[in-house]
Amino acid sequence: MKILTTATLLVVTLLIVPVISYTTGTALSPLEMKALSHVMITAAVVALLCFILGEITGNTSQVDKIWSLMPIVYTWTVAAYGDYSPRLVMMSILVTIWGLRLTYNFSRHGAYKLKFWQGKEDYRWEILRQKKEFQPPWKWSLFNFFFISGYQNALILLFSLPIIVAFQNRNRDLTILDYGAAALMIFFIIFETIADNQQWQYQSTKWIKINKGEEVTGSHKKGFLDTGLWSLSRHPNYFAEQSIWIAFYLFSVAASGQWINWSIAGCLLLLILFQNSSIFSEEISAGKYPEYAEYQQRVRRFLPIPKRDQ
């Protein structure tokens, strides 16, 4: 019931926050509304396809496959409407770098196949699907429709929408804040790359030994990574991912001159999603690895800074 309550809260928040934020912001011109409508229709079609494919194949990781790709589509679509003004191009290039890197990392886990609807499903979906809250199966179908396919595709669109605010103010010159936001995005993309590579190397080595029937020793014996960036944060990749989209939001601040504008809804909702996603992931890890509880006490969840008592 807790899972369903959380999902319902997220969906309701998704409906309320953007509407309130948008109605208190600067009205869009007809051209700007046309660009927004274009990406909204695209998101709706993609969400429906993700749901249908997930139901047909039983693989509900369809959204996971396009998570790193759709922001590229959205930003370059808006850039085209804005005649490729400098700020829009800068934002689109940075999102493309982010998306290609994340797509490569996801592909290493077997997520993509020639038949694109196939590929490895996120192990957490199967665990969640077996919970009593989602029995009988039609409850899982509703969850897939409203949260996995609907909510997450809407969220992907929302955290891409600072580019609409930049489009509204496309005639304003680039500022030092634009360059600062770009530097932050690049820094956190590199940070996330290092974190993902450390996790990939650790898990690959561990599973090679397990699959060969060899004894798992040393740091691999505990089952989870707690060295490198993972000694500073339990989820350094999540921390970086959230930071990337907060930095992306700063472009809308630079363009509009407003520290708070309606496009902030996306990065705020992303923070909530990662908070709940990490809680679920850690419940699984704590149940599998005896030493994980001590790791939770010793290392912060997101911020890569030592705890005071360390």
**Structural domain includes residue 191:** yes
Q: List Cα–Cα distances, 141 to 51, 52, 163, in angstroms.
A: 8, 10, 33
pLDDT of residue 25: 63
Range of the domain at 55: 2-298
Alpha-carbon dihedral 161, 162, 165, 167, rounded to 10 degrees: -80
Residue 176 has pLDDT above 70, yes or no: yes
pLDDT of residue 88: 98
pLDDT of residue 79: 98
pLDDT of residue 65: 92
**Structural domain includes residue 310:** no
Residues 6+ apart with CB under 8 A from 310: 298
**Structural domain includes residue 217:** yes
**Structural domain includes residue 259:** yes
**Structural domain includes residue 161:** yes
Supply 105's token pair. 């990392």
Average pLDDT on 303-308 reads 82
pTM of the model: 0.89
Average pLDDT of the chain is 89
Q: Which amino acid is at 21?
A: S
User: Per mean pLDDT, which range of 20-24, 26-30, 91-95, 306-310 is the poorest?
Assistant: 20-24
pLDDT of residue 14: 57
- pLDDT, one tens digit per residue, over 65-87 is 999 999 999 999 999 999 999 99
pLDDT of residue 1: 47
Number of domains, the chain: 1
Instruction: State phi, psi for 59 to the nearest 5 degrees.
Output: -105, 105
**Structural domain includes residue 306:** no
- pLDDT, one tens digit per residue, over 243-299 is 999 999 999 999 999 998 989 989 999 998 898 889 989 999 999 999 999 999 999
**Structural domain includes residue 307:** no
- pLDDT, one tens digit per residue, over 3-56 is 555 555 555 655 665 565 556 567 788 999 999 999 999 999 999 999 999 999
**Structural domain includes residue 309:** no
Q: What percent of the chain has pLDDT over 70?
A: 90
